[in-house]
């Protein structure tokens, strides 16, 4: 019997990405994590238009196409997916709706687990704020991409509707067919004298600490912890595993901050 071939896919969050390796995850993160593979070439970095609704062909359709090509070209038999933010919703759409697209069943069959970094599983009040056109529209433009369909989708009441009718994995709904494990970011540090505040960009962390004022005490500056933990299971909350028990802001949870990359790398060996 042929040996299993493990691969990892990096699935970005909200935004229309053309070079997510360089711009969204950055090479340090991707190249550190993939060292956990038996064959370090068995990785793919997805580039899709996640400004669309999750089911849109430019979102889930694009993701399905790129995952299918990766599985086929590399002979992947065990796929571990790393997602961030809204990427978790697009992955849950595929996992929850296997008959929607003929490519979905083979992808689901190959997936071992989805490690969802700060997934927006229950949406965010900040999406409501952007859509309603208040101050967040200008202050969060860099983070949310303004009034895109993906942002509209991440309004709290809209995600509640999707979770109740279209998606699996939340309370009272059928379980997802594959493990969906969230890494929860619980706080934001942005003290100018604290070197940890500079990981993944000091300015971005200052912005996230500002928006945290409109969220719960437990949040990563973009998402409440309750949203990040709403689907599947919680793998761990940042401070319980990170170097120095540091929190992961929403920006830091997609970067090589506080040994997150090492944790994800070691997980590929399991």
Domains of the chain: 6-267 (3.40.50.1820)
Chain-wide mean pLDDT for the chain?
A: 94
Mean pLDDT of the 142-148 span: 65
Residues 31-58 as b/e (b if ≥16 CB within 10 A, e otherwise) read bbbbebbeeeebbbbbbbbbbbbbbbee
Q: Measuring CA to CA, which residue among 102, 114, 50 is closest to residue 78?
A: 114
Structure tokens at 198: 């500079």
Q: Taking the C-alpha atoms of 148, 173, 251 and 76 in order, what is their torsion angle to the nearest 10 degrees? A: -100
Average pLDDT over residues 23-38: 98
246 falls in which pLDDT band (50, 70, 90)? very high
Alpha helices per DSSP H over 97-247: 104-110, 125-131, 136-139, 141-144, 149-153, 156-165, 202-211, 225-228
What phi and psi values does residue 7 have, to the nearest 5 degrees? -135, 160
**pLDDT at position 196, please?**
86
What does the CA dihedral 253, 58, 127, 167 come to, rounded to 10 degrees? -80
Residue 30: predicted pLDDT = 98
Tell me the two tokens of residue 3: 């040996």
Using pLDDT thresholds of 50, 70 and 90, give the confidence band for residue 146. low
Q: How far is CA 78 from CA 74, 217, 259, in A?
A: 11, 38, 24
Q: Using 50, 70 and 90 to split pLDDT, how confident is the model at 223?
A: very high
Q: What is the pLDDT of residue 140?
A: 60
Mean pLDDT value across residues 40-60: 98
Which tokens belong to 76? 């992947």
> Taking the mean position of all CA atoms in its chain, how far away is CA 90?
9
Q: Is the pLDDT of residue 121 over 80?
A: yes
* Helix, strand, or coil (residue 184): strand
| 193 pLDDT above the threshold of 90 | no
Q: Which two tokens stand for residue 184?
A: 């929860």
Q: What is the pLDDT of residue 80?
A: 98
- Measured at the CA of 74, the angle between CA 270 and CA 61, to 5 degrees, comes to 95
Of residues 94, 12, 228, the one with CA closest to residue 220: 228
How confident is residue 38, by pLDDT bands cut at 50, 70 and 90?
very high
Token pair of 130 as six digits = 């952007």
* Residue 141 predicted with pLDDT over 60: no
């Amino acid at each position: 019997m042929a040996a299993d071939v493990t691969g990892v896919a990096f699935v970005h969050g909200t935004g229309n990405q053309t070079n997510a390796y360089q711009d969204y995850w950055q090479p340090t993160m991707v190249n550190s994590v993939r060292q956990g593979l038996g064959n370090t070439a068995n990785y793919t970095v997805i580039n899709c238009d996640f400004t669309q609704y999750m089911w849109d062909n430019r979102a889930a359709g694009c993701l399905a196409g790129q995952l299918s090509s990766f599985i086929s070209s590399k002979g992947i038999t065990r796929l571990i997916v790393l997602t961030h933010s809204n990427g978790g919703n697009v992955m849950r759409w595929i996992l929850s709706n296997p008959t929607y697209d003929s490519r979905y069943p083979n992808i689901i069959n190959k997936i071992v687990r989805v490690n969802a970094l700060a997934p927006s599983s229950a949406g965010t009040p900040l999406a409501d704020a952007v859509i309603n056109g208040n101050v967040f529209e200008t202050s969060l433009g860099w983070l949310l991409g303004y009034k895109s369909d993906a942002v509209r989708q991440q309004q709290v009441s809209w995600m509640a509707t999707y979770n109740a009718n279209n998606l699996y994995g939340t309370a009272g709904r059928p379980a997802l067919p594959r493990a969906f494990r969230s890494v929860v970011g619980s706080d934001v540090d942005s003290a100018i004298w604290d070197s940890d505040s500079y990981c993944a960009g000091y300015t971005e962390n200052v912005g996230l600490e500002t928006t945290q004022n409109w969220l719960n005490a437990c949040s990563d500056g973009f998402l409440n912890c309750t949203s990040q933990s709403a689907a599947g299971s919680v793998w761990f909350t940042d401070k319980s595993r990170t170097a120095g028990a540091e929190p992961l802001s929403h920006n830091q949870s997609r970067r090589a901050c506080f040994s997150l990359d090492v944790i994800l790398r070691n997980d590929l060996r399991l």
